[in-house]
């Protein structure tokens, strides 16, 4: 069984648009250097990719999360994180923030939701969580539009 054919593959995107690739990579690097737990950022990237239907990014971030040692049950249950009962309070807050910002269709970000994420993260951490979510949403839109094919190793 195969899905739609890639319009542009990831390597071609990287070679054809190196400045765009570098800009997105720089945002990701800034998040990595912010001190946020890398396993946490991989969970939010995975969840946003699931919501956006980006198979390439979902596979990419599953691979990274596995390499980081994220528990298999968390990876298996991230799509149903609210009901799963396996995530820490910080992970729950980050996943809620991810869903809110990823599903940002003609809606505001309520103060109560901002306060909820601030209860678990510092202002600086929320800033970098927000950057991580914005960046993965950009990658998802590129990957979905160009139909990047998922790759099991990278």
Q: Could you read off the pLDDT of 112-153 as tens digits, one per residue?
A: 999 999 999 999 999 999 999 999 999 999 999 999 998 765
How many angstroms separate the CA atoms of 93 and 121, rounded?
A: 9
pTM of the model: 0.92
- Domains identified in the chain and CATH numbers: 33-145 (1.20.1290.10)
Angle subtended by helix axes 55-68 and 38-52, to nearest 10? 160
How many angstroms separate the CA atoms of 125 and 58, rounded?
A: 23
Strand segments, DSSP code E, in the chain are none
Q: Which helix (H) or strand (E) holds 129?
A: helix 123-146
pLDDT at 97 over 50: yes
pLDDT digits (tens, 9 = 90+) for 25-77: 999 999 999 999 999 999 999 999 999 999 999 999 999 999 999 999 999 99
Q: H-type helices in 69-122, by residue range?
A: 72-77, 81-84, 89-102, 111-118
How many angstroms separate the CA atoms of 14 and 40, rounded?
A: 26
From the list 64, 20, 14, 69, the residue with the least C-alpha distance to 44 is: 64
pLDDT at 96 over 90: yes
């Amino acid at each position: 069984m195969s899905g739609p054919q890639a319009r542009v593959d990831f390597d071609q995107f990287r070679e054809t648009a190196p400045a765009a690739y570098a800009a997105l990579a720089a945002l990701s690097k800034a998040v990595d250097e912010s001190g946020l737990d890398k396993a946490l950022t991989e969970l939010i990237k995975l969840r946003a990719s699931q919501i956006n239907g980006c198979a390439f990014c979902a596979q990419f971030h599953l691979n990274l999360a596995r390499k980081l040692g994220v528990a298999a049950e968390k990876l298996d249950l991230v799509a149903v994180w609210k009901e799963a009962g396996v995530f820490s309070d910080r992970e729950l807050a980050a996943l809620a923030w991810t869903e809110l910002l990823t599903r940002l269709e003609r809606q505001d970000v309520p103060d109560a939701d901002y306060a909820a994420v601030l209860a678990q993260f510092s202002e600086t951490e929320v800033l970098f969580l927000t950057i991580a979510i914005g960046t993965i949403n950009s990658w998802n839109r590129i990957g979905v539009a160009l139909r990047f094919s998922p790759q099991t190793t990278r």
